[in-house]
Every structure is written in C-alpha cells, then in structure tokens.
Structure 1
C-alpha cells in the first residue's frame, strides 16, 4: 500500500489555497489510479474544493469517461502529451470544477520501452477559461510506488501553480 503521509502537508496547503480562492478541482488519473484525489480527500475540508476524480486506467475508460478519441490513443499511445491534454480537457468539460489535472504514465516495473521508459509521466493541467498546459517528467530510478508518489507530488504542485492563475 502506498503511504500518502509525506504528501499530506502539500495537500493541506493546496486545499487551503483553493478554498480561500473559491476554486474547485477535478482529477483524471491513469497511472496513479486515484491517488491524487485520494491524497486531496485525506484532508479535512476537502469537500469544499474537490469536485470529482476520474480513474481512467484503461484506454476505454479514457474514451468513455473523458471523451479522449480512441483514434488519438491508437495513433500516439495512451502515455503521450496529446492524451494527457485530452484527458484534462475532458475532465474540465465534464465537471463543474475550475481546475483539473490529468496524469498518464508508466509506473513500472514493466511496460517501459526506449521511447517511453518506466517513470515517464505526462501531465495535463487546466483552468477554466485558459488553455490547457502540458508537463512531462521522468521519475527514473524509482519503484512503482515511488513513481506514483512522485507523480502525485508533482500534480499537487501543478494545481497550486494553476490556482495562482
């Protein structure tokens, strides 16, 4: 089981920042399997800011729940800039949230390739009324749990930046 304790101070600070700004958030998660939403909802008072979380582990879920075109996934692969952006745009469009974050990556230990190594994670971040942004990280040398925790930590950071405008 992944220990979320080290991430709770960042989650608490983000929840306070979002509540003060009157902003809500949605998550669209593949490689983290709901850990971003889970980390946020560990914080008392999170119900004021967490709108919803989509766990879209399969390609079919990305299409069904977020509207990511199946043709896009087939063309560029689920772990890609394009899919991360489509996921975050879908999460924002299908929710009432002001902010959304999406993650798609390879947590390992299997599934990597020279082009897409274990630890590769694409992020989408969006704020209603603004264009979605992409970020990519390679969390090399970490085990599966480490990649997932690093992904959650980076997603919380990106949400904090998006909250600032």
Structure 2
C-alpha cells in the first residue's frame, strides 16, 4: 500500500496517526508528511533518539530500559503506548533498533523492534533482523516495515 493510500484509508476511518522513532530519526514522519494533505491524518511524530528522550517524551520506564535495553520489544511497546498517551492519535507505531555500524553478539546490527498501539486493541510488537546492510539500508527498511504495520492495522 502506498503512503498516499495508507493516509486515505486512515482518513476514511477517521483515524489519526502518531510515530515514535529512535533509529530512524524522523524518517517515518517525513515519509508520511511527504504526501500533501497528510496533516489531517498525521497527528505528530516523536524522535526519541536518546534513552532520556524516551523517558521524558513518551514515558518509557527507566526500569524497562535497564532491564531490556533500548532495542527491545518491551521498549518499543512503551514507546508506541506513550505516543498514543501523549498525542491525540488513535494509532501509533514505534521503531527502535541498531542501524549500524556496530552492534553486538546479543543485539546485532540490523535488529529493529517495532510496536503498534491502537486505541481499544492490544499493543503488538515484533522484531525484524534486517542484517548488516549498512546504516542507510537498515533505516530505510525499518520505515517500510513500519508503514506495512500501519497499513495492516488499517485493514
């Protein structure tokens, strides 16, 4: 589904979207707002690159960050729920990951965690291993995956 189609679908359902991004640094919000007229669907985006920003802007628990690390489904879930709680959106998607270069044996480069929160539905999360494709490719693939999650939620 194209971004324009995704926005049209959300518009037809009367839903507003928020984003909570870490490793993509606002790329998802930019993709959504590249479409003219997105302002009636895209409510806001949070770029929470640091752990402090995740806590301050989205209400992510410091204990969750300590226990699971920033690149985890637990943190992605709290990011998505925080984006809903701190906006007037009905649907929020969160992205946190390791775009590279680097990573570790435990959390390799290319690992990205996503969460989707929607009013009245359970929050869902997933982890995708994009692999060490390079920073730009991981970030781009993460945006595409987040758009796919939004599209699925609207179906």
Note the aligned Cα RMSD (angstroms): 1.0
Deviates more, 1:80-89 or 1:14-23: 14-23
**Residue ranges of structure 2 left out of the alignment (5+ in a row):** none
Q: In the alignment, what sits opposite 2:154? A: 163
Tell me, yes or no, if the aligned pair for 1:125 and 1:159 is still in contact at 8 Å.
yes
Instruction: Pick from 37, 58, 61 the counterpart of residue 53 of structure 2.
Output: 61
Counterpart in 2 of 1:6? none
Aligned length: 155
Return the TM-score normalized by structure 2. Answer: 0.97
Residue 25 of structure 1 and its aligned partner are, at CA, apart by 0.2
Residue in 2 aligned with 1:36?
Answer: 28
Aligned partners of 1:158 and 1:37: how far apart in 2?
A: 14
- Residue 10 of structure 1 and its aligned partner are, at CA, apart by 2.1
TM-score (norm 1): 0.91
How far has the Cα of 1:144 moved from its partner?
Answer: 0.4
Q: What residue is the counterpart of 2:140 in the other structure?
A: 149
Work out which of the residue numbers 26, 31, 53 in structure 1 matches 2:18.
26
Distance 1:32 1:100 in 2: 15
Indicate the residue corresponding to 2:98 in structure 1. 106
Gaps of 5+ in 1: 1-8
Whole-Å Cα distance in 2 between the matches of residues 93 and 161 of structure 1? 21
1:141 Cα offset (Å): 3.6
Aligned counterpart for 2:115 among listed residues 115, 124, 147: 124
Deviates more, 1:118-127 or 1:137-146: 137-146
